[in-house]
Every structure is written in C-alpha cells, then in structure tokens.
Structure 1
Amino acid sequence: PHTPHRYQTLSNTGNDQNNDHGTPHRYQTLSNTRNDQNNDHGTPHRYQTLSNTRNDQNNDHGASHRYQTLSNTGNGQNNDHGAPHRYQTLSNTGNEQNNDHGAPHRYQTLSNTGNEQNNDHGAPHRYQTLSNTGNEQNNDHGT
C-alpha cells in the first residue's frame, strides 16, 4: 500500500472510496460516480481528479499536489492543509466549499457555481477568483 502506484482509477460505480496513505501516486481518478471520497495523506500526488459526480469530498493533508480538481459535481468540498498546491479548482458545481490553511497557493478558483465559500488562512495567495456565481463568501486571513 505504500509503494508508488501509477494509476488508481475508480469509474462508473455507485460508491467509491479511495484512501491513499503511501508514496507518490501519479494518477488518482474517480469518475462518473455518485459518491466519491478521496483522502490523501501521503507525499506528492500529481493528479487528483473527481469528475462528473454527485457528491465529492477531497481531503489533502500531504505535500505539494500539482492538480486538485472537482468538476461538474453537485456538492464539492476541498480541504487543503498541506504544502503549496499549484492549482485548486472547483467549477460548474452547485455548492462548493474550499478551505485552505496551508502554504502559498498559486491559483484558487471557484467559477460558475451557485453557492461558494472560500476561506484562506495561509500564506500569500496569488490568485483568488470567485466568478459567475449566485452567492459568494471570500474570507482571507493570510499575509
């Protein structure tokens, strides 16, 4: 369970649970599912994608993750407590919550959604964008 897995895919399922506690996994994909839970506590994961789902939960506590994407979902929750994440995107969803407590995040984008909450407590964030939404809340507590 702790050695590098290049591909981890759960697709076209009813309920998916993907827990990764090991070393770098290049691809982690949960697609076309009803309920997805992706918990990553390990070292850098290059891709973490949850797409075309009803409920998505993506919890990242590890080191730098290059891509974190929740798209075309009903409810998206993205909690990042780790080191720099280059991309954090929640798009085309109904309800989104993005909580960032870690180090510098280059991109934080919430777009085309109904209700959004973006809480940033970390270090400098270069981009924070909330666009084309109905209700937005953006709380920035960083430097």
Structure 2
Amino acid sequence: MNKHLPFIADTTALIIFFTATGALNERFVAGMTWEQVLHARLIGAALMIPVARPYGLWRDVLMKRAADTVMSRLMWDSLALVTFQVPIYAGIIAASGAEGEGLVRGVISAAFIMLLLGRPYGAFLNGVRKLFGLPPGGTKPMSLGE
C-alpha cells in the first residue's frame, strides 16, 4: 500500500466536507461577507492540509472507545470533531475578519454544528478511506508510516 494514501484520503475528506459546511456557517450564521468567507475557506483549506491526518489519527484513537451502537459512535465522533477542530476554526474566522459578537456566534455555532456533523463526517471519512482502499477509523490502527 502507498504510505501516503492515509494522508491523501484524510485530507481529501476534510477539505471537501468542511469547505462546504464552513462556508455556510460563515456566511449565514457569523454574518461574514462573501469576500471574508472566501478568505476563510482559503485559509481553512491551507490549514486542513497539515491537520487532516492528525485529526484522522485523533479520531481513530477516540473511536476505539466507541461501542458498537449508533449512540456511542455518534458521541465519540462528535467529541473527536469538537475537541480537535473548534479551536482551529476559531482562529481561522478571527484571522478572516470575524470579531466581537460575530466571532463568538461563529465559534458557538461551529461547535454546535460540529457536534451535529461529527458522525456524518466520521461516516464520510470512512467512506473516503474505503475509496482509497483503507480500513475505517477506530477498527484497525492506521499510522503515518502505512
């Protein structure tokens, strides 16, 4: 197996999924202009490249704790996403011009959205990994050296 496939799969999944959801949040919840949204998404995409694989590994570690129930997978996927991505997202929108009440609304909204999107993103990530011939997260350790 190509040792770069886990990096490519995790990065592809993160960029596709969160470019769309981030833009909607920034425009319609945080009240950012389309120019600010574009700026935030460009910064976001650049930041997703180095953090996608570490997030995938973080999620894999947490998902090992999940029981084989919908609620358990939902809880652990959501916890993984919120604890890893919300601090990064806060920095992205602050650097893109969100401030004051808009910044606070954007971060709180992103935390709520990530709680809701944790499991859908986890399933999407597993689907992208499958397309790349990789196992889903949390079931078999995947390392940077694979």
Scaled by the length of structure 1, what TM-score is found?
A: 0.21
Larger radius of gyration: 2
Higher strand share: 1
TM-score w.r.t. structure 2 length? 0.20
The structure showing larger relative contact order (alpha-carbon pairs under 8 Å, at least 6 residues apart) is: 2
